[in-house]
Structure 1
Amino acid sequence: MTNFELFAYFGAPALMLGSALVLAWYAKHHA
């Protein structure tokens, strides 16, 4: 498995989850 495949399987979902958490935190603290 190449690095790109590893990123596609694990990196992208983690990035989306991280972005969602950051947005939720920002919304909570800047309401």
Structure 2
Amino acid sequence: MEKKLIFSQADMMYTVAGASVLTGILYLITLL
């Protein structure tokens, strides 16, 4: 149970990080 919770938290962090990276790339493309 605890491991699942830790894994889901890590997945959420990776998802948020990936979303911010994608948003930043799209923003840079828009600026260029």
TM-score, scaled relative to structure 2: 0.69
- State, as a whole percentage, how many aligned pairs show the same letter: 8
| Structure 2 unaligned regions, length at least 5 | 28-32
Computing the radius of gyration from Cα coordinates, the structure with the larger value is: 2
| 1:25 and 2:27 are equivalent in the alignment | no
| Structure 1 unaligned regions, length at least 5 | none
- Total equivalences in the alignment: 26
The structure where helix makes up a greater share of residues is 2
TM-score, scaled relative to structure 1: 0.70
- Runs of 4+ in structure 1 deviating by more than 4 angstroms, as ranges, are none
